[in-house]
Amino acid sequence: MVLATGAANPLLRWSYFVEQWDRIEEAIFQHVQLTLLAVAFGFVISAALAFLGMRYRWTITPITLFAAFLYTIPSVAFFGVLVSYLGLTLLTALIPLTAFTILILVTNILDGFSSVPASVREAADGMGLTPAQRLFTVEVPIAVPYIINGLRIATVTTVGLVTVAAIVGYGGLGRLILDGLRRTFWTPLTIGASLSILLALLFDLLFYALGAWLTPWARRRQAP
């Protein structure tokens, strides 16, 4: 970061950072909040869709196509359409954010459950586990790495998309970026941009660690 001494518009003016800390903090909070909300809702929807897909095999293709379609909608367009109808509300930001997570989450959840070997399922049934027991004590744990991976990608992607959501007023750190661009005042821009990058990387690391922690069996790869 260049602290151009004497220049009126440095990349980062520390005094601004300190003075506006409240606003920055609020932006961070909103950013995290939006991200987590979108991923949470997306996860619930995706889990339901995945369940449907597993129960009725034929629904997998239409579901995947639909999710892919949602994902392909350009973010700016999606926000734009909704703002025309809903105005500048939380929903305007949240709906596209949620929609973009669905493809990633559904695909990964489905992959997770399809990774359970048929022999494991059969052995579980043969031992007298009820369908619920089999699902929760066998299938879900095995699917977990995929689910975590899906959450990881979805979350990180959403952090990026939240910055774009600033154009409809709910963008957390993206608002700082936009503000800075509009006023050609670099400090908020630098702060907003770097913090959102950091946030994304932080989430990435967090989920990576979570995944590693939850799957001790994947870590041991030694042959006897």
Partner 1 sequence: MADAVGTTPAGTMMGATAPAATVTWLAQAAVPRDITLAEWFTDPETWTGSNGIVASLGDTLLLVIAVILFSVLVSVPTAALLAHQRRAELASAWVVNIGRAIPTFAIAGLLVPVSLRAGYGFEPWPIFIALTLLTVPPMYLSTYTAVKQVDPAAVNAARAMGFTEREVLLTVELPLALTVIFTGIRVASVQVVATEPIRAFLGGDGLGRYVRDGIGQNNPTLVLGGAILIAVLAGITAVTFVAIEWLAKPPGVRRLAGGRTERTLSARKQLVET
Partner 2 sequence: MVLIGPSGCGKTTTLRMINRLIEPTSGRIEIQGEDVTDLPATDLRRGIGYVIQQVGLFPHRTIEANIATVPRTLGWDRSRIRARVEELVEVVGIDREMLARYPDELSGGQQQRVGVARALAADPPVLLMDEPFGAVDPIVRGRLQDELLELQARVHKTIVLVTHDLDEAIKIADKIVLLNVGGALEQYASPDELLREPANAFVESFVGDDRSMRRLTLATVGDLPYERGPVVPIDTPPADARAVLADQRSEWLGVTDGEAFLGWIEGAEVKDGVHLDDLHRFLPAAQVEPSSTLRNAMEVIMNSRTSVAVINDHGRFCGVVTLERIRAGLDSDLSATPEPAG
Q: What are the residues binding partner 2 (CB under 8 A)? A: 117, 119-130, 133, 138, 141-142, 215-217, 220-224
Selected binder of partner 1 within 46, 98, 101, 108 (CB under 8 A): 108
For the chain, counts of helices (H) and of strands (E)? 11, 0
Q: Buried (b) or exposed (e) across 79-117, using 16+ Cβ within 10 A? A: beebbeeeeeebebbbbbbbbbbbbbbbbbbbbbbeebe
Distance between CA atoms of 130 and 1, rounded to whole angstroms?
A: 59
Distances 193 to 4, 54, 99 between C-alpha atoms, Å? 19, 40, 24
Binding test (CB under 8 A) with partner 1, winner from 49, 147, 151, 168:
168
Q: Which of 52, 83, 116, 135 forms a contact with partner 1 (CB under 8 A)?
A: 83
181 binds partner 1 (CB under 8 A): yes
Instruction: State the DSSP code for 135.
Output: I
Stretch that binds partner 1, among 13-21, 48-56, 119-127, 147-155 (CB under 8 A): 147-155
Residue of 5, 72, 119, 222 interacting with partner 1 (CB under 8 A):
72
**Host H or E run for residue 200:** helix 186-214
Residues at the interface with partner 1 (CB under 8 A): 9, 11, 72-81, 83-85, 87-90, 103-104, 107-108, 111, 146, 149-150, 153, 156-157, 159-161, 163-164, 167-170, 173-175, 177-184, 186, 189-190, 192-194, 196-197, 200-201, 203-204
